[in-house]
Amino acid sequence: DTAVSQTPKYLVTQMGNDKSIKCEQNLGHDTMYWYKQDSKKFLKIMFSYNNKELIINETVPNRFSPKSPDKAHLNLHINSLELGDSAVYFCASSQVLEADEQYFGPGTRLTVT
Amino acid sequence: GQSLEQPSEVTAVEGAIVQINCTYQTSGFYGLSWYQQHDGGAPTFLSYNALDGLEETGRFSSFLSRSDSYGYLLLQELQMKDSASYFCAVANQAGTALIFGKGTTLSVSS
């Protein structure tokens, strides 16, 4: 059983399109996150949700909209995709909000052409 | 804000010992975490130090000195499979997310 899963694994799309990435965790964790990892491997927090409530919204363009329908799911919708959005997006979860041990999904490699 | 510094690259040979250092500047400090990421893979949790001292888990150990705002990850008996990127991380000021260093790429050769 995969602890944190993401779909799709690869996403290739054109500028201006809208796309979604889905994430699910079966660990029973309260907190879920979205991270962006750029081509230089810099891993940056985008959003965190605790019990479906948005806790952190880092300096992310409002074209990015997370949605948590329940504690086990955190989706990321991106509108009007830009070239600079090309990156690997990781979903992660932790047992509680303050936990330093986070479990990462396999990542979604987004390429915007 | 939080910032972390770690070397960008380290090289070593199989069987050797390598130390990856991390210095941090934080507003509020909870502890220092280490993550490993293989090429094309996801970050995986290695260790967490909240208190000063050395924590050992098999071939890997992690050290923290809160007074020096410094920590390190020590990898012993290096194996080829240890070739990966290693990230140190601290919690943000509110303790609600992790801030990662830029990562250290470890290359282990035979």
* Yes or no, beta carbons of B42 and A45 under 8 Å apart: no
pLDDT in tens, A15-27: 999 999 999 999 9
Nearest CB to A107 within list B33, B42, B99: B42
Average of per-residue pLDDT across B30-37: 96
pLDDT given at position B96: 84
Distance from CA of B26 to the nearest CA of A (A): 15
- The whole-number pLDDT of residue B75 equals 98
Q: Which residue has the higher pLDDT, B43 or A96?
A: B43
Give me the percent of chain A exceeding a pLDDT of 70: 99
More confident residue, A100 or B110: B110
pLDDT band at A102 (very low <50, low <70, confident <90, very high): very high
Flag whether pLDDT at A1 surpasses 70: no
Q: Which chain A residues have a beta carbon less than 8 Å from that of B95?
A: 97-98
Per residue in B2-25, pLDDT tens?
899 999 999 999 999 999 999 999
CA-CA distance, B8 to B101, in Å (whole number)? 10
Express each pLDDT in B55-93 by its tens digit.
998 999 999 999 999 999 999 999 999 999 999 999 988
Give the residue among B14, B17, B35 at the shortest CA–CA distance from B76. Answer: B17
Using CA coordinates, name the residue in chain A closest to B85. Answer: A41
